[in-house]
């Protein structure tokens, strides 16, 4: 077929016909779904030459000037010397092979250490929770499936996890997803603490697991290596206080600190629509003190912080670095894994997020154009 109608081309390229109409329009040509395209290769060339991006940005200059010169929407560089800032809780991701006991361990930690929910309170899946050990010491656990969360965050350049707790079932040993978890943690340079789980089981062979760990460069400290390896049972609770201590020890060595006076930054770890509150985003705060009334952006979503709640839906006046909280006040669902950044004004929040939406649709257009060009080439 040499000549195609707009809608046929759209169908062949698996794009919306409106997109082609829109693109043609940008180039000053009016087409309809039934317009026959005789010179589409030419059209593709023109689009490339003119630069679709600049056209779509409405002259380009305004956006670049107002947005890219001002760094509101960029992560602030971390100072080299953090030693003057206060400590923050470590943020832990539990990873490991399916059925090795990740959920059971999280449940145990939550049940024994997190205060009971208030009667009648709405349970909001928060994606993270804090274990409070005393006035000073807290540990924040990410509750999202390890792999998915890790991947989503890495794609967006967010590094949230300080320590990976690798769960290995004592009756099963190192499996495919255990190896994948080790690889992911190593690639992100996140230290691993190994929890050999199911040590209550009569089929448990922790010594065998330890031998396997050595082959993966996770030699236990007791054997002269560098890795903390703890034997636990997520079912009975055996060894879990040792695990918690190991996490605190590791965190202490890492000397984790954050600047409370900086512009608020964090990562979205969960988001869902609440019937009463609209879109709710769970975040882990990484720096700054999150307060009511602040303007936030996360990808193409923005919020005015209406209120902040903890994992028990108790309202909080503010949240410090390392805390996991729910934020009510989002105008749309903030994407999971997205970096959350504070901006100064509503105007700015809108400007930044609209700009990002535009970039997104441009990227989509680019992708679609590539598809179209390919099809055209095949047809020649």
Asked if 147 touches ligand GDP (CB under 6 A), the answer is: no
Of 98, 115, 122, 223, the one binding ligand GDP (CB under 6 A) is 98
**Which CB, 103 or 332, lies closer to Mg ion?**
103
Task: State yes or no: residue 348 binds ligand GDP (CB under 6 A).
Answer: no
Considering the rule CB under 6 A, would residue 233 count as an interface residue with ligand GDP?
yes
**In angstroms, what is the minimal distance from the CB of 334 to ligand GDP?**
26
CB nearer to ligand GDP: give 177 or 373: 177
239 interface partner picked from ligand GDP, Mg ion, none, CB below 5 to 8 A per type = none
Interacting residue with ligand GDP among 22, 70, 200, 379 (CB under 6 A): 200
Report the residue number, 220 or 237, with the smaller CB distance to Mg ion. 237
Question: Which of 8, 66, 76, 103 lies at the binding interface for Mg ion (CB under 5 A)?
Answer: 103
Using CB under 6 A as the binding rule, whether residue 180 contacts ligand GDP is answered as: no
For ligand GDP, which residue of 182, 234, 280, 308 counts as binding (CB under 6 A)?
Answer: 234
Considering only 55, 75, 110, 235, the residue that binds ligand GDP (CB under 6 A) is: 235
Contact between 23 and ligand GDP by CB under 6 A: the answer reads: no
Rounded least distance, CB 171 to ligand GDP, Å = 8
Q: How far is the CB of 245 from ligand GDP (least distance, A)?
A: 18
CB atoms within 10 A of CB 284: 27
**C-alpha to C-alpha distance for 125 and 271, rounded to whole angstroms:** 8
| Segment lying near Mg ion (by CB under 5 A), choices 103-111, 195-203, 293-301, 335-343 | 103-111
Sign of the Cα torsion 320, 242, 126, 82 reads positive
Q: Contacts with ligand GDP in 67-96 (CB under 6 A)?
A: 96
Q: Which of ligand GDP, Mg ion, none does residue 101 bind (CB under 5 to 8 Å by kind)?
A: ligand GDP
Q: Does 177 interact with Mg ion (rule: CB under 5 A)?
A: no
Nearer to Mg ion, 172 or 259 (CB): 172
**At closest approach, how far in Å is the CB of 148 from ligand GDP?**
13
Partner whose footprint covers residue 234, from ligand GDP, Mg ion, none (CB < 5 to 8 Å by kind): ligand GDP
Residues numbered 100 to 139 that lie near ligand GDP (CB under 6 A) are: 100-104
Three-state SS sequence of the chain = CCCEEHHHHHHHHCCCHHHHHHHHHHCCCCCCCCCEECCHHHHHHHHHHHCHHHHHCCCCHHHHHHHHCCCCCCCCCCCCCCCCCCECCCEEEEEECCCCCHHHHHHHHHHHHCCCCCCCCCCCCCCEEEEECCCCCEEEEECCCHHHHHHHHHHCCCCCCCEEEEEEECCCCCCHHHHHHHHHHHHCCCCEEEEEECCCCCCCCHHHHHHHHHHCCCCEHHHCCCECEEECCCCCCCCHHHHHHHHHHHHHHHCCECCCCCCCEEEEEEEEEECCCEEEEEEEEEECCEECCCEEEECCEEEEEEEEECCCCCEECEECCCCEEEEEEECCCCCCCCEEEEECCHHHHHHHHHHHHHHHHHHHHHHHHHHHHHHHHHHC
| CB-CB contact of 58 with 105 (8 Å) | no
Chain residues binding ligand GDP by CB under 6 A are 96, 98-104, 197-198, 200-201, 233-235
Provide the binding-site residues for Mg ion, judged by CB under 5 A.
102-103
């Amino acid at each position: 077929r040499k000549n195609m109608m707009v809608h046929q081309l759209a169908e062949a390229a698996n794009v919306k016909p409106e997109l082609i109409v829109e693109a043609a329009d940008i180039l000053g040509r009016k087409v309809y779904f039934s317009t026959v395209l005789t010179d589409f290769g030419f059209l593709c060339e023109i689009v490339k030459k003119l630069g679709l991006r600049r056209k779509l940005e409405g002259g380009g200059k305004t956006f670049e000037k107002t947005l890219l010169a001002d760094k509101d929407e960029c992560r602030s560089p971390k100072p080299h010397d953090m030693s003057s800032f206060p400590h923050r809780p470590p943020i832990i991701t539990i990873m490991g092979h399916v059925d090795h006991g990740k959920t059971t361990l999280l449940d145990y930690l939550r049940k024994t250490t997190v205060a009971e929910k208030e009667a009648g309170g709405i349970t909001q899946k928060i994606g993270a929770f804090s274990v409070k050990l005393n006035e000073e010491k807290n540990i924040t656990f990410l509750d999202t499936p390890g792999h998915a969360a890790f991947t989503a965050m890495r794609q967006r350049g967010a590094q949230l996890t300080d320590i990976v707790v690798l769960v290995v079932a004592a009756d099963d040993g190192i499996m495919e997803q255990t190896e994948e978890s080790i690889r992911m943690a190593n690639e992100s340079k996140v230290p691993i603490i190994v929890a050999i789980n199911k040590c209550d089981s009569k089929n448990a062979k922790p010594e065998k697991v330890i031998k396997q760990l050595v082959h993966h460069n996770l030699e236990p400290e007791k054997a002269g290596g560098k890795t903390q390896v703890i034997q636990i049972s997520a079912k009975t609770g055996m060894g879990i206080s040792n695990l918690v201590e190991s996490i605190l020890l590791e965190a202490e060595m890492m000397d984790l600190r954050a600047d409370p006076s900086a512009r608020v930054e964090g990562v979205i770890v969960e988001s869902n629509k609440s019937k009463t509150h609209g879109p709710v985003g769970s975040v882990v705060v990484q720096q700054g003190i999150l307060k009511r009334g602040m303007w936030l952006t996360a990808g193409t979503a923005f919020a005015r912080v209406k209120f902040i709640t903890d994992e028990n839906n108790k309202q909080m006046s503010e949240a410090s670095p390392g805390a996991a909280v729910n934020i009510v006040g989002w105008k749309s669902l903030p994407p999971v894994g997205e970096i959350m950044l504070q901006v100064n004004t509503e105007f700015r929040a809108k400007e930044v997020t609209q700009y990002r939406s535009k970039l997104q649709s441009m990227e989509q257009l680019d992708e679609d154009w590539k598809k179209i060009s390919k099809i055209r080439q095949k047809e020649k």
